[in-house]
């Protein structure tokens, strides 16, 4: 089963780092900003009867201001919206990214929005008891008001909750979406990684979002 998943957010929020960590298990400080769109493929043995192929579309942060996102979003069935917890402007931009997704793509054969998970990234840079400025209660409310199915504090550097957040999105996709058996506009399937560590059907991702 093939599922197209968008990864969007402002420039410098760590989208490419999250994908590299999730797909290849690596992190580096030396990524260049994505221009246009890049691709990666992750293969999950979700359960004994279900193999999930995630086609991750890494969309450049500046693309929200262009006309190409409708093309990039076509046939997507899920998305991550990423912001940098150390840059408040990227948090403010989250609402615009979510609105952009909702206005341009929906679950196939439906008017329902695709499931979107919010990632509060670079949590490894936060020090002190005051945190990064938003409480769990505030984020739960924000998530519910804006239609995110879950949210997670993540770090691509430390591999904090990257896989957990991906499993939450996959779970929501499987509950809502009919799989695509013929690949959508397919990049070369390089860097394919197969894993067997998805949760079983009785486990629920430990997201703090009440709308999950």
Per-residue pLDDT reduced to its tens digit, 1-59: 899 999 999 999 999 999 999 999 999 876 666 666 889 999 999 999 999 999 999 99
The pLDDT, as a whole number, for residue 202 is 46
As given in the structure block, the two tokens for residue 112 are 């329902």
- Judge whether residue 114 has pLDDT over 80: yes
User: What's the pTM?
Assistant: 0.82
Give the CA angle between residues 157, 163, 168 to the nearest 5°. Answer: 135
Whether the pLDDT of residue 73 is over 70: the answer is yes
Residue 154, exposed/middle/buried by CB under 10 A (0-12, 13-18, 19+)? buried
User: Is the distance from CB of 142 to CB of 150 less than 8 angstroms?
Assistant: no
pLDDT band, residue 69 (cuts 50/70/90): confident
Mean per-residue pLDDT over the chain, rounded: 85
Q: 2-195, superfamily in CATH?
A: P-loop containing nucleotide triphosphate hydrolases (3.40.50.300)
pLDDT of residue 147: 98
**CA distances from residue 19 to 54, 123, 142, 146 in whole angstroms, order as listed:** 11, 16, 24, 24
Q: What is the mean pLDDT of residues 125-130?
A: 83
CA 52 to each of CA 1, 49, 99, 142, 166: distance values in angstroms, whole numbers, following the listed order = 5, 10, 27, 30, 12
Domain boundaries along the sequence of the chain: 2-195
């Amino acid at each position: 089963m093939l599922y197209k998943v968008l990864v969007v957010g402002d420039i410098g929020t760590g989208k490419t780092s999250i994908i590299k960590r999730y797909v290849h298990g690596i992190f580096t400080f030396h990524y260049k900003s994505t221009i246009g769109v890049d691709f990666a493929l992750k293969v999950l043995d979700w359960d004994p009867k279900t193999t999930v192929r995630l086609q991750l579309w890494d969309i450049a942060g500046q693309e929200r201001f262009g006309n190409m996102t409708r093309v990039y979003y076509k046939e997507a069935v899920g998305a991550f919206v990423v912001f940098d917890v150390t840059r408040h402007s990227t948090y403010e931009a989250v609402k615009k990214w979510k609105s952009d997704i909702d206005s341009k793509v929906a679950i196939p054969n439906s008017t329902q929005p695709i499931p979107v998970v919010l990632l509060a990234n670079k949590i490894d840079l936060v020090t002190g008891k005051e945190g990064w400025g938003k409480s769990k209660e505030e984020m739960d409310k924000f998530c519910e008001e804006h239609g995110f199915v879950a949210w997670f504090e993540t770090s691509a550097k430390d591999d904090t909750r990257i896989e957990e957040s991906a499993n939450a999105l996959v779970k929501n996709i499987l509950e809502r979406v009919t799989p695509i058996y013929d690949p959508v506009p397919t990049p070369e399937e390089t860097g394919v990684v197969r894993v067997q560590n998805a949760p079983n059907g009785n486990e629920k991702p430990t997201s703090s979002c009440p709308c999950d």
